[in-house]
Chain A
């Protein structure tokens, strides 16, 4: 018995239409993004992203988008085919971390082993991270310096341009002018009367390309509010590797955030121990120093820089300070005075105290000292672990704060 078979030929038009998974792919990608956003605190804690290239690819574990079902765990033996001389005890592979039966090509329509990670570049990650953060309380200050493209202003007319900017009035006038000029010329040389439609010909006087006039617009750049961010970091001897790592991670996030979201915010890096210096970005993130701690020195330096370059009536100022809080007691009054002064000139002054777990019981803390400082734009957080970096960062910058 044979049957009639139908062959349907390949048609490229069908193939173009056949991208039917587009909707589902989009939905899946949304889920991935969502999952990344939910796990950002962990990702930042796990990855050492400081000073990494923007194109660096980070493997991000995806927790939300596995397709869970009941499966067997690790004590599940499997069977497979050997190469001809399999011996007991021979190692044949790596155990799957998720114990997913290793999916040895059995079980036809069972969805294959899930993949658990996705690659994102640092840039994408930062973009997702900073989606709903911004510099709080950004105000308009007297002089504006940050340029931003605003509406366009009319400025003259040109022969070339795009159609929508065609100035009909001027174009028509150009034509009339040309017509007048040509009539003078024609009068000089009378038309041949034998031509029957000479009159009609004379009346038709089409536009030429030369007649066209376009409005010319100039993009107006308006100066936006200026902002400067002062990053103050304690680099004294008591800041051990772990503390420095936490502080730098925090500042790195801050730096990335500003660089991503604001085109021309100025950033000042200040490193201090007993005395403070303005340093370059490179030095700030990579150099270590030692010595005692005078927190006031850092603040004083910041105040000096502000006085010198960023007058508070013209600039939105943000100061962030990270330290382990192990200040010389004698410096505390000076520190709090300087801090109060900073609060007076800055939109926001944030203090992050780095206390790796446990150490806060035997080290002195500035948190207590700063408690006396009740300025509304002062905020202090405690960073104990890597996991705290993101929440504290968010506490400083989340949009919600502004609403409160």
Chain B
């Protein structure tokens, strides 16, 4: 049984807040809820949301989590915290006092990150809970509507979920409206001023096609279909909107997993160490801290990787070694200044690119692997030749990098209202079975033939899906 009272936790919370404030962390008001393992499994299945719309995939997620938990394959997290204002965190009831202290400190790290990192600015944390609740109400209403019903709702949600992550990656970049895109297109088509125009042949003028839809390739596939398929009913559009809003709420978390977990771990360590715990608690802290932050060979533990980089970044700005000064220059900012700046302006891909050093990679023995036959084989290691390539691979695989970039090129391909999608190939092929099934979902939503241009084993190919089914064609 737990060796603490709620009043103890409130007491520790106060002390932790004092320390956190002294370090300069800045957070939303915090709420903690103590829950048991079924509660936690439930929150995990629904991404921590107190209310969420129903869909069978969450039942599936729950079953899976529960099976893994029941068979002891996976433990449960000590906490879960959601990005909202006030931030809501769930603490496991069975945690020991020390774990609760560690977790509370950890939660303040996340909370600070949610409030300050630039990627979260678009999530409107004040409205999180209400918005998810409104989504749930709307979806339930459609399910109960006798003219719609759960089967039709699922048809749209299944397709929506399949395409959910085919959206813009960086929400901080403003999406231009059609007029602005047209203006930009005309600007680009205008011949450039050439100081030597007298001696150069006049460049041929190509009239830009301002009637095309979309003007610029559009990455928001779901929203594009919502706005350009006139045959969707109002409730169908609304479901797509709901799916898209949720994705864009979760995208920042995906994009900052390593930074965020690292940041929270870094701060729970500094905060707890400054709390002057008695010896027993302190020993337990060391054990638990190292359990969470242990490297897992053959994988990336985001807690460990993030933590190492934050710690290294801080140290390099406080006590740089002579070699480091030689290599990276003398630090212009103090360690704290630097890390607070980075937590605001970076996301995983830029964070790794800028702050994961060759030395650190070597220390962590990072390697790159690829599949050969049935096996995953180490391909490059972090030695002098390999580290850059290993790092590139790592960056490609974090956050939204693990999702293929697919854009809508044309909504009226061949003047046939065929939807033309293009996969921007970066050396990684699409998984064909999944592509086939997902295109079927696009077709379901679009209602007309859908084609996807991609590259399969070095050959440009066109994956088509129409009323007759799926086919693959080679392109010249």
Question: Considering the chains assembled together, what is the distance between the CA atoms of A222 and B323 in angstroms?
Answer: 96
B392 smallest CB distance to A (angstroms): 9
Complex interface bits, B335-378 against A, C-beta within 8 A gives 1, otherwise 0:
00000000000000000000000000000111111110111111
Q: Which residue of A lies closest to B111 (CB)?
A: A3
On whether the beta carbons of B433 and A98 are closer than 8 Å, the reply is: yes
Of A10, A86, A89, A102, the contact of B93 (CB 8 Å cutoff):
A10
On whether the beta carbons of B379 and A86 are closer than 8 Å, the reply is: no
On whether the beta carbons of B253 and A109 are closer than 8 Å, the reply is: yes
Pick from A62-70, A136-144, A183-191, A392-400 the stretch touching chain B: A62-70
B118 touches A (CB below 8 Å): no
Question: Considering the chains assembled together, what is the distance between the CA atoms of A6 and B30 in angstroms?
Answer: 7
Q: Give residues 29-84 of A contacting B (CB, 8 Å).
A: 29-31, 65-84
Complex interface bits, B264-284 against A, C-beta within 8 A gives 1, otherwise 0:
000000000000000000000
On whether the beta carbons of A7 and B9 are closer than 8 Å, the reply is: yes
Residues of A close to B17: CB separation below 8 A: 2-3, 5
A27 touches B (CB below 8 Å): yes
Question: Considering the chains assembled together, what is the distance between the CA atoms of A188 and B58 in angstroms?
Answer: 81
Complex interface bits, B109-143 against A, C-beta within 8 A gives 1, otherwise 0:
00000000000000000000000000000000000
B184 touches A (CB below 8 Å): no
Q: Give residues 5-34 of A contacting B (CB, 8 Å).
A: 5-10, 14-15, 18-21, 23-31
Pick from B200-208, B209-217, B398-406 the stretch touching chain A: B398-406
On whether the beta carbons of B368 and A78 are closer than 8 Å, the reply is: yes
On whether the beta carbons of A24 and B163 are closer than 8 Å, the reply is: no
Question: Considering the chains assembled together, what is the distance between the CA atoms of A24 and B61 in angstroms?
Answer: 10
B320 touches A (CB below 8 Å): no
On whether the beta carbons of B59 and A6 are closer than 8 Å, the reply is: no
Residues of A close to B300: CB separation below 8 A: 79-81, 104-106
Question: Considering the chains assembled together, what is the distance between the CA atoms of A89 and B368 in angstroms?
Answer: 11
Q: Contacts A1-B21, A18-B39, A67-B162; is A77 near B438 (CB within 8 Å)?
A: no
On whether the beta carbons of B393 and A89 are closer than 8 Å, the reply is: no
A100 touches B (CB below 8 Å): yes
On whether the beta carbons of A70 and B39 are closer than 8 Å, the reply is: no
Residues of A close to B97: CB separation below 8 A: none
B165 touches A (CB below 8 Å): yes
B232 touches A (CB below 8 Å): no
On whether the beta carbons of A69 and B163 are closer than 8 Å, the reply is: yes
Tell me which of B21, B86, B298 has the highest count of chain A C-beta atoms within 10 A of its own C-beta: B298
Complex interface bits, B19-53 against A, C-beta within 8 A gives 1, otherwise 0:
00100001111111111101100100111000000
On whether the beta carbons of A21 and B30 are closer than 8 Å, the reply is: no
Question: Considering the chains assembled together, what is the distance between the CA atoms of A18 and B46 in angstroms?
Answer: 12
Question: Considering the chains assembled together, what is the distance between the CA atoms of A175 and B403 in angstroms?
Answer: 84
Instruction: State the main secondary structure of chain A at its contact with B.
Output: loop
Q: Contacts A9-B6, A81-B365, A106-B402; is A93 near B59 (CB within 8 Å)?
A: no
B96 touches A (CB below 8 Å): no
Question: Considering the chains assembled together, what is the distance between the CA atoms of A110 and B260 in angstroms?
Answer: 16
B164 touches A (CB below 8 Å): yes
Q: Contacts A18-B42, A71-B431, A108-B257; is A91 near B377 (CB within 8 Å)?
A: yes
B228 touches A (CB below 8 Å): no
Residues of B close to A98: CB separation below 8 A: 431, 433-434
Residues of A close to B427: CB separation below 8 A: 75
On whether the beta carbons of A82 and B368 are closer than 8 Å, the reply is: no
B262 touches A (CB below 8 Å): no
B321 touches A (CB below 8 Å): no
Q: Which residue of B lies closest to A67 (CB)?
A: B57
On whether the beta carbons of A28 and B381 are closer than 8 Å, the reply is: no
On whether the beta carbons of A70 and B250 are closer than 8 Å, the reply is: no
Residues of B close to A77: CB separation below 8 A: 368-370, 379, 393
B467 touches A (CB below 8 Å): no
Of A25, A78, A90, A92, the contact of B397 (CB 8 Å cutoff):
A78
- Cβ contacts A to B, 28 pairs, < 8 Å: A1-B21, A5-B31, A5-B32, A8-B31, A20-B46, A24-B56, A24-B62, A30-B56, A68-B437, A69-B438, A70-B435, A71-B403, A74-B431, A75-B429, A77-B370, A81-B296, A81-B301, A81-B367, A82-B366, A86-B365, A90-B377, A91-B377, A92-B376, A92-B377, A95-B375, A99-B371, A104-B397, A105-B299
